[in-house]
Amino acid sequence: MSLSERLRTIFPAWDLIPEPHRPQLPIEQREYLLGGEIRTWEGPLDPVRSCVCAPGGPPQQIVLGGCPLMTAADSAAALEAACRAYDHGRGGWPTMPVAERIRHVEEFAWRMKEKREEVVRLLMWEIGKSLADSRKEFDRTVDYIVDTVDALKDLDRISSRFTIEQGIIGQIRRAPLGVALCMGPYNYPLNETFTTLIPALIMGNTVIFKPAHLGVLLLRPLLEAFRESFPPGVVNTVYGDGPTVIGPLMESGRIDCLAFIGSSKVADILKHQHPQPHRLRSVLGLGAKNAAIILPDADLDTAVTECVLGSLSYNGQRCTALKILFVHRSIIDAFLARFVPAVEALAFGMPWEEDVRITPLPVPGKPEYLHRITDEAIAAGAEVLNEAGGTVSGTYFHPAVVYPVRPGMDLYSQEQFGPVVPVATFDSIGEAVEYVVESPYGQQVSLFGRDPGRIASLIDPLVNQVCRVNINSQCQRGPDTFPFTGRKNSAEGTLSVSDALRVFSIRTLVAAKSHDMNQQILTDIVRGRRSNFLSTDFIF
Ligand code: G3H
């Protein structure tokens, strides 16, 4: 079968899909978690469409089912439940001993593991992530929870002692902030939602979480685990249209912490909705246009392997993806002679197919957008170098290597967040560095080269432009113990296993002038285990 025929018939008939990967349709989610109960939604459902289309005729996305289309009154009920559970810091959860909160989170992780296959299947069907990457996302999330527990134990051990300075005794710990609103992105709807949700919870905050607009149903199998593992009101879910359900939450002024992964435009709207923005702690993961700079002496095998991975893993739909490649003019032909066949060799198809790397896209209108910016570059003199690059078949967009991309083209400046790889050339390294300096984003960069002197001379200016400089390696978030953040429009706050614990809490202390009476009081409290905060208990 020719490539164009394979692309035209990319979506399989239902009965050709292997049985274990076929979901039972329709999946009508009516459950939501409020105040410790799984309630049944009686209102209208928002249809949930798969990125997988039905074959034959004009491509139609398969309707998987629906989820609650809530109103402002419903999100107000979630807010009320979270505020009640927090009770201005006096609730059972925020005042609970750290060791007990850890036990609740461990129980959740244990229950969550039982839902692996269900969640993985929905990750494939809702957002088109390959089976291997969906499993990786699930397992990485469980690991993240385990690592978070270990990091909190470490933090707590350090805080389980008094210090005496200038005649003042103090015990310094981290205390919760209040009610946290957590919203994850569609590309990592499980992992990135949980990398804020879990640290927010374990530090004693109560949480309202709204799943991403795509990748909603996959969280449904976990509702029961949340209900069973946490006290009432500590975790509450909200579904529906963002402006309808989230706007009023922010406007209420009762959200103390906003954890949001998405666009800077939406983040700005949310922050401005808060009546007293100075009271709001924001943890934001936003856009990026990470560049790879391929120097004249680069090892081309390494550069090609890493640039294919970096630009096209999960179809380029990663905030950390390489979104433009700058290649030195002296090696551009040699680079493209290897890079284009490597892209052409990527297996494409349905998420459950073995070794598949390129899959359909979940965002409505995305293939058309990618087609438009590719066409615009072609009209301005660029070419698509790989066979059938840019072909659209329903929700599927065949990856396109576009060269030469120049200033003025949308592909040069816009974050495409999809399987289009813009390639540009440079003559002097200053041009590539200038691109990074002038970019509105500041997340990461990748440098490919062998000369330590030249690499060193680039590291020093670049570390003040972005927050991670990768040497002969693609850009990426992991390992999750490394700090993940960005400058300019790319992030606010730092996330890593240990940083997240800090982000969702505030240093708080009990202090007393050191004299007999105070020493006696403190000793009595600690010996009698009268306070959960003022304590020298050591968590093993
Ligand atoms: O979408 C942004 C993710 O945090 C990227 O994570 O680099 O591990 O794919 P990753």
pLDDT tens for the chain, 540 residues: list them: 899 999 999 999 999 999 999 999 999 999 999 999 999 999 999 999 999 999 887 889 999 999 999 999 999 999 999 999 999 999 999 999 999 999 999 999 999 999 999 999 999 999 999 999 999 999 999 999 999 999 999 999 999 999 999 999 999 999 999 999 999 999 999 999 999 999 999 999 999 999 999 999 999 999 999 999 999 999 999 999 999 999 999 999 999 999 999 999 999 999 999 999 999 999 999 999 999 999 999 999 999 999 999 999 999 999 999 999 999 999 999 999 999 999 999 999 999 999 999 999 999 999 999 999 999 999 999 999 999 999 999 999 999 999 999 999 999 999 999 999 999 999 999 999 999 999 999 999 999 999 999 999 999 999 999 999 999 999 999 999 999 999 999 999 999 999 999 999 999 999 999 999 999 999 999 999 999 999 999 989
Residue 365 CB contacts under 8 Å (≥ 6 apart), including other chains: none
Q: What is the pLDDT at residue 56? A: 81
Q: Is the CB of 478 under 6 A from ligand 1?
A: yes
Looking up tokens 């959860």, which residue turns up?
93
Q: Which atom of ligand 1 is nearest to the CA of 478?
A: 8
Q: What is the pLDDT at residue 232? A: 98
CB 53 within 8 A of CB 59: yes
Radius of gyration of the chain (CA): 25
Q: Is the CB of 474 under 6 A from ligand 1?
A: no
Q: What is the pLDDT at residue 142? A: 98
Give distance in angstroms: CA of 117 to centre of ligand 1: 22
**Helices and strands in the chain, H and E counts:** 18, 25
Element (H, E) at 63: strand 60-68
Mutate to test the pocket of ligand 1, among 141, 193, 476, 495 (most ligand atoms within 8 A of CB): 476
Nearest CA to ligand 1 atom 8: 477
pLDDT digits (tens, 9 = 90+) for 491-502: 999 999 999 999
CA dihedral 97, 98, 99, 104 (to 10 degrees): 100
Q: Is the CB of 470 under 6 A from ligand 1?
A: no
Sequence ranges of the domains in the chain: 15-285, 290-487
Q: 3-state DSSP helix/strand/coil percent for the chain, to nearest 5?
A: 40, 20, 35
The two domains 15-285 and 290-487 share their CATH topology (first three levels equal): no
Q: Is the CB of 319 under 6 A from ligand 1?
A: yes
- Distance between CA 477 and CA 320 in Å, rounded? 7
- The class level of CATH for 15-285 reads alpha beta
Q: Which atom of ligand 1 is nearest to the CA of 313?
A: 9
Nearest CA to ligand 1 atom 2: 319
Helical spans, DSSP H, in 429-514: 429-438, 452-462, 497-503
CA dihedral 10, 13, 15, 17 (to 10 degrees): 20
Q: Is the CB of 140 under 6 A from ligand 1?
A: no
Structure tokens at 125: 């069907």
Beta bridge partners of 471: 447
Q: What is the pLDDT at residue 526? A: 97
Instruction: Identify the three-state secondary structure at position 356.
Output: coil
Please name the amino acid found at residue 53. C
Q: What is the pLDDT at residue 59? A: 85
Nearest CA to ligand 1 atom 4: 477
User: Domain 290-487 belongs to what architecture?
Assistant: 3-Layer(aba) Sandwich (3.40)
Q: What is the pLDDT at residue 136? A: 98
